[in-house]
Amino acid sequence: MAEKRDYYEVLGVERQAGEEEVKKAYRQLARQYHPDVTKEDPKVAEERFKEISEAYEVLMDKQKRDLYDKYGHAGVNSQFQGGGFNWNDFTHQGDIRDIFGDMGFGGGSIFDMFFGGGRSRGPHQGQSLRYDLDITLEEAAEGITKEVNLPLTVKCEACKGTGSKSGKEGICQQCKGTGQVQRVERRGYSQFISVGACPKCGGTGKDIKDPCPECDGGWTRKRQKISLEIPKGVDTGMRLRVAGAGEPSTDGGPPGDLYVVVNVRDHKVFKRDGADLYTTQEISFPEAALGATIDVPTLGGKKAEVPIPAGTQPGDVQRLKGLGMPRMEGHGKGDLYIRLKLVVPKKLTAEQKDLLRKFDGDGAKKRLFGRNKG
């Protein structure tokens, strides 16, 4: 196989290109290489279309783009199911529909080829599903098992999935049982041939005279319990694939997959950046000036002792090694950074004021700032 090209080069954009530029470049190239509209050799066009779509997927996703910028292809390959990009990893189907929608392709068969398996080769894999899962930062740190109830399409029990009340089924006359019909359409000077589901039988190839009252063509929606294993260290935007947990195939193919898209909620105390955590801790002027040991919260509720050296300045940062999030790639944990915020008291007793004036009159200002009077 030829060596993989640089994603920026593939889309012909600068490394610092913003989302709009990337989008524009992809739009242009997609119009040029989409296998159903291209003037190129279809085999070549299909490869090129996949290549630009992979580049688009990475450059539009901050996390993937950062990994790519840092580590190149090796950095992002692990983000894709199966260690490399395939169409199941593509999350911008909507954009393709937008691009070609105004050319008269309203979804349908043109996309099936990419997102539902082969175009005219059967059987087809069932549709993949997306499930958005919100978890807390603590859950992301520990890893969890979540039980979810998803409405999935399953075979109707009443008719055993035949869709017929009596269980008898004939063959659809329009498609002769294949479930597919060819359409020839003219657009301007060009002629397009597309293969789509038969409108009469909905792609089943069957002709049912006495439909089952309990279902729609043998399929019905039912809530199914699915157990999701969320590994520790997950971050917002990561996708987990549960193979075979998507929609069933309507023509005997394998079921689709379920993609769980993780969103880690913001935390009251900690901000996260990759494997590192950040928090702010207030300290007093005497603690900063004289030094102290303070307790700070860590993720999970335990307190950690942090030494404040004498002469600490407002905004100084202390690092606690290994008290951040678990790393998904590699080993160990990130660090916890504590920004020290100096709090100036708003109320002072007469005695405290006296002490501060004494400190000030003691030549403190001259020593600190080289001046006598403020």
Selected binder of Zn ion within 200, 232, 267, 327 (CB under 5 A): 200
Between 51 and 169, CB nearer to Zn ion = 169
Q: Report the nearest approach of Zn ion to the CB of residue 54 (Å).
A: 36
Residue 103 has φ and ψ, to the nearest 5°, of -100, 5
Q: Does 81 bind Zn ion (CB under 5 A)?
A: no
- 46 neighbors 204 (Cβ within 8 angstroms): no
Residues 165 and 213: their CA atoms lie apart, in Å, by: 7
How far, rounded to the nearest angstrom, does the alpha carbon of residue 217 sit from its chain's CA centroid? 34
Conformational region of residue 35, where left means phi above 0, alpha means psi within -120 to 50, and beta covers everything else: alpha
- The distance of closest approach from Cβ of residue 152 to Zn ion in the complex, given in angstroms and rounded to an integer, is 16
Select from 66, 214, 216, 266 the one that contacts Zn ion (CB under 5 A). Answer: 214
Which residues, numbered 128-157, are part of the site for Zn ion (CB under 5 A)?
156
Question: In angstroms, what CA-CA distances link 348 with 28, 289, 344?
Answer: 67, 18, 10
Question: Interface with Zn ion by CB under 5 A: which range of 74-82, 171-179, 186-194, 266-274?
Answer: 171-179
User: From the CB of 34, what's the least distance to Zn ion, in Å?
Assistant: 27
Amino acid at site 69: D
Q: Which residue's CB is nearer to Zn ion, number 109 or number 279?
A: 109
Cβ nearer to Zn ion, comparing 128 with 162: 162
Q: Does 175 bind Zn ion (CB under 5 A)?
A: yes
Contact range with Zn ion by CB under 5 A, out of 22-30, 213-221, 242-250, 281-289: 213-221
3-state SS, residue 266? coil
Nearer to Zn ion, 197 or 296 (CB): 197
201: contact with Zn ion by CB under 5 A: yes
Nearer to Zn ion, 205 or 324 (CB): 205
Query: Is residue 215 at the binding interface for Zn ion, with CB under 5 A as the rule?
Result: yes
Task: Tell me the number of residues near Zn ion by CB under 5 A.
Answer: 12
- Part of the chain binding Zn ion (CB under 5 A), chosen from 92-100, 166-174, 329-337, 365-373: 166-174
258 lies in the binding site for Zn ion (CB under 5 A): no
Quote the least distance from Cβ 120 to Zn ion, whole Å: 14
Question: From the CB of 137, what's the least distance to Zn ion, in Å?
Answer: 45
Collapse the DSSP code of 316 into the 3-class scheme (helix H, G, I; strand E, B; otherwise coil) and give the result. Answer: coil
Q: Does 208 bind Zn ion (CB under 5 A)?
A: no
Least distance in angstroms from the C-beta of 126 to Zn ion: 18
- Rounded to whole angstroms, the maximal C-alpha distance in the chain is 103
Using the minimum distance from each CB to Zn ion, give the nearer residue, 126 or 179: 179
Q: What is the DSSP string of 64-128?
A: HHHHHHHHTHHHHHTTSGGGS--GGG---HHHHHHHHHTTT--STHHHHHHHSS-SSSSSPPPPP
Q: Which of 28, 81, 174, 263: binder of Zn ion (CB under 5 A)? A: 174
Q: Dihedral sign, CA of 21, 24, 30, 32?
A: negative
Instruction: Say how far apart CA 364 and CA 353 lie, in whole Å.
Output: 15
Q: Are 127 and 116 in contact (CB under 8 A)?
A: yes
Nearer to Zn ion, 65 or 119 (CB): 119
| 294 lies in the binding site for Zn ion (CB under 5 A) | no
Determine, following the binding rule CB under 5 A, whether residue 159 of this chain makes contact with Zn ion: yes
Of 198, 260, 262, 338, the residue at the interface with Zn ion (CB under 5 A) is 198
Q: CB of 36: closest distance to Zn ion in angstroms?
A: 23
For residue 197, state whether it binds Zn ion (rule: CB under 5 A): no
Q: Which of 116/324 has CB closer to Zn ion?
A: 116
Nearest C-alpha neighbor of 204 from the set 166, 234, 161, 240: 161
Q: What stretch of H or E contains 341?
A: strand 336-343
307 forms beta bridges with 293
Phi, psi dihedral angles at 272 (to 5 degrees) = -115, 140
Q: Helix, strand, coil % (nearest 5) of the chain?
A: 30, 30, 45
Q: Footprint of Zn ion on this chain (CB under 5 A)?
A: 156, 158-159, 172, 174-175, 198, 200-201, 212, 214-215
